[in-house]
Chain A
């Protein structure tokens, strides 16, 4: 018995060591390195660095741009959660519950942006938004709404909302498929029972579909929040570079600018630590508010 327990642990260790090594190299080491460098004044381009304690964090608290980047990040989080979840749920229900013949085709169409690189999506939408050559302004002019045409990405007012559309467009497909999986697992008998009880389609959606796909919705929301807080940097960097006049900077793009454009690598590392903490806190708060007993009928 003792021998078999030992063997079991040895086997587990044998299986898990490669994972731990990889995790240490690619996650823990960069994480602790980032934390370590956040206590230095360092350009990131030489060996010359000076320990400055918490100075970078004090600067972070006093930096006027930081609150702006946090607001931008959470604006994108809210807009993406709302936009993606509403549309993904709508299409998932439509493609599973309505008898649409072309459903497989639409599934591919909606999923297509997910196989495209974010960089490509950013460039594509930059062309679409181009003030003089782009599809949107040309379209508005064509239908007689030239007063609505504007420099979408070049305006301090419109640039950030303009980033929402490509982000939502690129995200719908994946979550639609996740929700479709959830909806497909709901037994038909629930809908039959609801129908016998006199529930119309709208009521069936609210009382049957939504509660039973809640686990998928919860995971989707958490995933969108995490990927937005950590990943909206790419689309911002490609489409606006954080401008005009910082009006689209998110925490990630500001980190990049500080670390690699202004050569304040230590300060950039401190911003990275702040992003990690904010992401963790946000996810914990969300999990608290979204906790709900599993619904079973």
Chain B
């Protein structure tokens, strides 16, 4: 028996005891932190600490700073703690995992997924509460440009930012060289042909490291135009037969045509988000599909004579209006928020026309509130005024709505197959087959 505590065996015991100690300590910490959480629950008044998590990307953070400062002025008893930055979703992950999340979260940027958060039960069900919220005296549910995403009929987040993916070009360059701005797929191909011939470049670029840019920026509008909301819903939810359906194959044939004509930059597969945008600014390419964040994000790198031009991605057939599929960035309250009253007060506070106007001025993008007039606003960039006018004109643009973002489990394999198609390694038919297989796998995994 004594041998068990002697010699090298003793050191083994020490190691095991240390391990138990470490595991034990971490369990204690969890318990104590949960205990603290329950004590912090307040009595329904708007006071105490309010923690807000927001991603800072292309839109910057100046709008948030202004809104939060105004909120603090209105609610002086609330102490606001901001968790913000380009990597905030990763930095705050352990807080969410340990059940100690911030109260309010703006869901955007890498490492965030609204669908996943809803599936994990991390977001508060706002369905009943939101019915009483008003924007400038009008029910909020009647004030959105695009309605909130619904999961089994329930609302877990409110769409704050109305972004949409479209196709960008340099308006000044097009004017000086006489290139026509495309209005449909036919004219898109024709303009790309002119540019290829005139400039000796592949006119179209996107990021191959994040192929979902092409999926969201080009294919979603194309699917919307080809099969309306129903087709969008079917491809996003991976419905059986959707990816091999006739309208999807027709869209993919268009992509194949772009590749075969040599209009897609052969190097796109290697480019990341910033590199593809730099290529575009340097006129190595003429068209790029990204969201409204582009001008704000690349402000410091923009050549002086460059003028941003924006059109919804021209994938629709001639005679059809442009198709726009909004990409909404929502604001939500954590299910386990320590201060739900202050969180609700903040969400209520943010959705006003005043802050919507400020949002466009600060970020060059649109907040998801209708009836905001930007046409005479000198602080809003011209491309946004034009885009806003275009988006609000149903004769020019038809808005199609996806039910919710596509799950990463489906988006990743489809994006990978898309790269192969755009590199010319597979045909449109083969792509559809691969996408259908990925959808089948996704359905089986649910």
Give the B-binding residues of A (Cβ under 8 A): 9, 12-13, 16-17, 20-21, 23-25, 28-29, 32, 43-48, 126, 129-133, 150-156, 159, 240-241, 243-246, 257, 260-264
Contacts and interface: CB of A to CB of B under 8 A. Distances in A.
Contact of B120 (A28, A46, A257): A46
27 contacts: A17-B18, A20-B18, A28-B15, A28-B19, A43-B116, A45-B116, A45-B122, A46-B97, A47-B99, A126-B270, A130-B270, A152-B270, A156-B269, A156-B423, A240-B209, A240-B270, A241-B209, A243-B208, A243-B211, A243-B419, A244-B208, A244-B269, A245-B269, A245-B417, A245-B420, A262-B409, A263-B116
Given A43-B116, A262-B408, A151 B270 contact: yes
Contacts of A263: 113, 116, 408
Contacts of B417: 245
Nearest to A264: B409
B275 interface: yes
Contacts of B22: 21, 24-25, 29
A133 B267 CA distance: 11
A43 B18 contact: no
B419 A131 contact: no
A154 B269 contact: yes
Interface of B: 6-7, 10-11, 14-15, 18-19, 21-23, 90, 93, 96-99, 111, 113, 116-117, 119-122, 208-211, 265-272, 275, 279, 282, 284, 408-409, 412, 416-417, 419-420, 423, 425
A63 B208 CA distance: 23
Contacts of A245: 269, 416-417, 419-420, 423, 425
Contacts of A156: 269, 420, 423, 425
B259 to A, nearest CB: 13
The CB with the most chain A CB atoms within 10 A, among B97, B119, B268, B425, is that of: B97
A155 B18 contact: no
Contacts of B11: 12-13, 16, 20
Contacts of B275: 126, 130
Contacts of B90: 260
A260 B417 CA distance: 21
Contacts of B117: 45-46
B26 to A, nearest CB: 8
Instruction: Kindly list the 5 A-B residue pairs having the minimum CB-CB distance in the complex, ordered from nearest.
Output: A131-B267, A154-B269, A153-B270, A154-B270, A151-B267
Nearest to B418: A245
